[in-house]
Structure 1
Amino acid sequence: MALKKPLLNSSELQRTLQHPLLRPRTHLLTVPFFLLSLFLLSASYTTNSPISDNNTIIIPSRFSFSLNNVLAHAPFTSYTVLESSQSNTFSSVTAAERTRGNSTDGDSQDLDSCDIFDGSWIQDDSHETPYHHGSCPFLDDTFNCFKNGRSDYEFLKYRWKPHGCQIPRFDGLKMLHMLRGKRLVFVGDSLNRNMWQSLVCALRASLKDKSRIYEVSGRREFRIQGFFSFKFKDYGCSIDFVKSPFLVQEWRVVHNGGVPQRETLRLDMIQASKSQYYDADIIIFNTGHWWNHDKTKNGNYFQEGNHVYERLEVSEALRKALKTWAKWVDTTVDSTRTRVFFTGFSASHYRGGQWNSGGKCDGERQPITNESYLSAYPWTMGIVEEVIAEMKTPVFYLNITKMTDYRKDGHPSIYREPGFSDNKGHRMVQDCSHWCLPGIPDSWNELLYSTLLIAYTNFMSSTNY
């Protein structure tokens, strides 16, 4: 059955051809993201039904891909084709077709065109997080603000509302059903660990028998080790985390006598992992925060081959590292079975200094409401977008930057685990980068869930089920 309408009409196509620097940085690659969702759902709900190699949707060239690769066994027989020769542009956000009727829980999904990352935070006293504070044993103390003494709950009473559409409530059992038999892996820094733990806790909360989830190694400290895997026994799926803050390999330069001289960052090598994840069903990458780390500031930290740079700008080092990552994805990841995501930069809110120089965010109780107080778009994400634009593998870009920039009230601040002091060791360092859990990362996972659920609703309506 053919789609009821083209993926992009002429006015929407014109928006896709605008340079990303000339419009607000709230875009999301929804067309491929939407198709990804159909792929995931069709694999769970349909039998094998081959698709012709001619069934190709062409959007701006670097995101062109065969529906064979995206909808592996989807029961469609024809597709609307949209041609464009324009390259190096990011797709604006559109829905593939209008979803008819209402979704479960009464949330309207009457969508025509919607950027789910372009919206605002709405105060809603009835809003409930996917899991209750104190209920999830898998949280790092780093994110467990209520265990560490936070007593205000106002920041949990805001929900993300995209402009022009309503997102459904998170349903962990439905998401587990969509992930049945699959492996989802988060690869990146502690902000990705923030999102990973949020998702694990949200899915756990939906289980009647909480013993049906376990961490493979049995560990409960998730800050130090490099790999963790939570298994959901009844669904045959796993939600994993691989620690890789730079995505490329940290290295040691060695003297002739074998004595380590100093650490460097190998910009030409993807980080080795204790667990191979290239063939996972879904991989969610991120990086960015460590590229502002002290040890990269001087520019003499970077290495390619045997050459250690005497001086290299951090921005150029990041570009080289991301090109190494992109090459690895393009040559190693099989895009016919593995979907690749990249999560955007999560905003920090230090005032009066940075994390190691007395920066603070305690006492914040409400989101930013005036957009003039939002930060400039992070330079790191500009580089990420440039690199993704040149890749042959479809990368589904989750641009959370603006939605997090509003939420200066959601950080652990002083409510972090004891023992963190400044460089002089006499006062606590505030955490204004990570997020309390429950909290803001739950909304990131709600948007992921929404996309999957909307895609399934579209699939069901298009096949008259």
Structure 2
Amino acid sequence: MKIDYFKQKFPHKYKQLLVKFVIVIFFFGVAFRFLFFHSEEISPVLESPLPEKTEASVSVPETPVSTEVVENADQVSRTEKCDIFSGDWIPNPSGPAYTNESCNLIESHQNCMTNGRPDKGYLYWRWSPRDCELPQFDPARFLNIMRNKTWALIGDSIQRNHVQSLLCMLSTVEQAVMVYHDEEYKSRTWHFPTHNLTIAVIWTPFLVEAVIFEDQNGVSSSEVELYLDKLNNKWTDEYQNIDYMIISTGKWFLKSAIYHENDTVLGCHYCPKRNLTELGFNFAYRKALRFVMDYIASSDHKGVIFFRTSTPDHFENGEWFSGGTCDRKAPVKEGEMEMKDLNKILRDIELEEFAKAAEKASRNGVNLKLLDVAPLSLLRPDGHPGPYREFQPFAHDQNAKVQNDCLHWCLPGPIDSWNDIIMEMVLNG
């Protein structure tokens, strides 16, 4: 009725509307027919993340983008994003995962809290890479992933320092049981029975054979006899039985030593009372490290091997034997503290020899990784025991002269972040 009324009242407008309606129906039908008959002819390139631009869709000419270039760019981006060794120490209000009271595995020289260190600020920092998020160590997840596995930390006393940190963090979930120790308790083995995980520390500070003449305070009565062509069988005998290992050395090569090869004395480092050629510690370090790396790279080991760079010390105003101290109370920023020349020499040798070995290891299918904790450790001059390597060193005399430890790390302390890094490398490579 309404349509008839509109037609009679406005005949001219009715005809215009009718024509427009017919035109709309016509074009709609043409469009539908075009889409229907051409839908199966759409190029599969449209399914690609980077479809080719056509003249119909682009008004301004663009330089074609190569898919290969973009893929390579993504790889570079991911690599840069996950550089977990480049970053800063940031405040960590939650504090450490354990304390001297919750963990009974901390050796006395690293037990700074028990020994009376008065400041606690060094406990409230964590390592944070600049371009990616580093999850904090998850002991429950680590234990589950490492079920039925064997770990070994092989090297000097910093490895003992590190193994205590790892055990203390894991002890928040399950207590470790010590199942072996050598006579001096320098090499030890622990077992986590619920997860059948074994963790060992193997003390071999040179990785090659050595006869050492010194007391517990590091005072030598004679030069070290160092055999540069003989690996220490403490670790080589167990090598194939270890699923994951961290190998490190370094500082011990700075000691006075006589160098042997092929059952012949080659020379020495700092032996003025001997009529021997001065070869320098760098000669021996490179030779020994190359021998170790070649052994690893040439093996058929099927596990994961981390080579950890040596950590810098923070003695200031002297060395360990000449009154050096480390009294700082906070981390420093990158560039604020220079690595000492001797540490630089060790580091350069480590990086050069690792690079050579890594190439060979890759060809042989050996999983060799670089655990480069030296740069991030350099930024923590506040994390050492200092005078608190001994119990209450100033209890009887506030001005007492005591030996400082500016090489090893307080527990808990900065070394705990190494476990965050290791877990990330194990899980995500």
Residue number in structure 2 paired with 1:216: 179
Q: How far, CA to CA, are the matches of 1:150 and 1:173 in structure 2?
A: 30
Residue number in structure 1 paired with 2:238: 277
Structure 1 runs not aligned, ≥5 long: 16-92, 96-111, 254-260, 421-425, 456-465
Q: How far, CA to CA, are the matches of 1:248 and 1:326 in structure 2?
A: 11
Q: How far, CA to CA, are the matches of 2:71 and 2:124 in structure 1?
A: 37
SS of 2:89's equivalent in the other structure is strand
Offset, 1:123: 1.7
Q: How far, CA to CA, are the matches of 1:351 and 1:9 in structure 2?
A: 48
Task: Answer whether contact 1:412 1:434 (CA < 8 A) is retained.
Answer: yes
Residue number in structure 2 paired with 1:179: 146
Confirm whether residue 446 of structure 1 aligns to residue 415 of structure 2. Answer: no
Per-residue deviation, residues 354-377 of structure 1 (Å, max 9, x unmatched): 111110013x21111361323256
Q: How far, CA to CA, are the matches of 1:341 and 1:375 in structure 2?
A: 23
Offset, 1:379: 1.5
Q: How does 1:209-358 map to 2 (within 5 A)?
A: 210=175, 213-217=176-180, 224-251=184-211, 263-273=224-234, 276-279=237-240, 280-293=242-255, 295-296=256-257, 301-308=258-265, 309=267, 310=276, 311-331=278-298, 333-335=299-301, 337-358=302-323
Aligned AA for 1:373? M
Aligned AA for 1:149? G
Q: How far, CA to CA, are the matches of 2:212 and 2:311 in structure 1?
A: 29
Offset, 1:242: 0.3
Instruction: Check 1:356–1:8 CA distance in 2 against 1; reply closer, same or farther (3 A cut).
Output: farther
Instruction: Check 1:171–1:274 CA distance in 2 against 1; reply closer, same or farther (3 A cut).
Output: closer
Task: Answer whether contact 2:126 2:414 (CA < 8 A) is retained.
Answer: no
Which of 1 and 2 has greater Rg? 2
Residue number in structure 1 paired with 2:53: none
Structure 2 runs not aligned, ≥5 long: 1-48, 50-66, 214-221, 268-275, 362-366, 394-399
Task: Please point out which of 376, 387, 392 is paired with 2:353.
Answer: 387
Task: Answer whether contact 1:227 1:275 (CA < 8 A) is retained.
Answer: no
Task: Answer whether contact 1:322 1:387 (CA < 8 A) is retained.
Answer: yes
Instruction: Check 1:354–1:278 CA distance in 2 against 1; reply closer, same or farther (3 A cut).
Output: same
Instruction: Check 1:325–1:275 CA distance in 2 against 1; reply closer, same or farther (3 A cut).
Output: closer
Q: Which portions of structure 1, spanning 4 or more consecutive aligned residues, are displaced by more than 4 angstroms?
A: 4-9
Q: How far, CA to CA, are the matches of 1:174 and 1:283 in structure 2?
A: 19
The total of aligned residue pairs comes to 331
Q: How far, CA to CA, are the matches of 1:122 and 1:113 in structure 2?
A: 18
Q: How does 1:148-167 map to 2 (within 5 A)?
A: 148-167=115-134
Offset, 1:352: 0.8
Residue number in structure 1 paired with 2:92: 124
Q: How far, CA to CA, are the matches of 2:68 and 2:404 in structure 1?
A: 49
Residue number in structure 1 paired with 2:15: none
SS of 2:306's equivalent in the other structure is strand
Offset, 1:288: 1.0
SS of 1:312's equivalent in the other structure is coil
Offset, 1:191: 1.1
Offset, 1:204: 1.0
Q: How far, CA to CA, are the matches of 2:332 and 2:200 in structure 1?
A: 33
Task: Answer whether contact 1:215 1:229 (CA < 8 A) is retained.
Answer: yes
Q: How far, CA to CA, are the matches of 2:193 and 2:95 in structure 1?
A: 27
SS of 2:167's equivalent in the other structure is helix
Aligned AA for 1:401? A
Q: Give the TM-score, by structure 1 length.
A: 0.65
Q: How far, CA to CA, are the matches of 2:69 and 2:383 in structure 1?
A: 36
Task: Answer whether contact 2:114 2:391 (CA < 8 A) is retained.
Answer: no
Q: How far, CA to CA, are the matches of 1:277 and 1:339 in structure 2?
A: 14
Confirm whether residue 374 of structure 1 aligns to residue 348 of structure 2. Answer: no
Offset, 1:339: 1.4
Q: How does 1:55-66 map to 2 (within 5 A)?
A: none
Q: How does 1:87-166 map to 2 (within 5 A)?
A: 94-95=78-79, 113-125=81-93, 127-166=94-133
Q: How far, CA to CA, are the matches of 2:89 and 2:167 in structure 1?
A: 24
Residue number in structure 1 paired with 2:378: 405
SS of 2:171's equivalent in the other structure is helix
Q: How far, CA to CA, are the matches of 2:68 and 2:144 in structure 1?
A: 29
Q: How far, CA to CA, are the matches of 1:154 and 1:176 in structure 2?
A: 30
Task: Answer whether contact 2:151 2:198 (CA < 8 A) is retained.
Answer: yes
Farther off after superposition, 133-142 or 377-386 = 377-386
SS of 1:234's equivalent in the other structure is coil
SS of 2:290's equivalent in the other structure is helix
Instruction: Check 1:349–1:12 CA distance in 2 against 1; reply closer, same or farther (3 A cut).
Output: farther
Residue number in structure 2 paired with 1:431: 405
Offset, 1:224: 3.3
Aligned AA for 1:431? D
Offset, 1:147: 1.2
Structure number having the greater helix percentage: 2
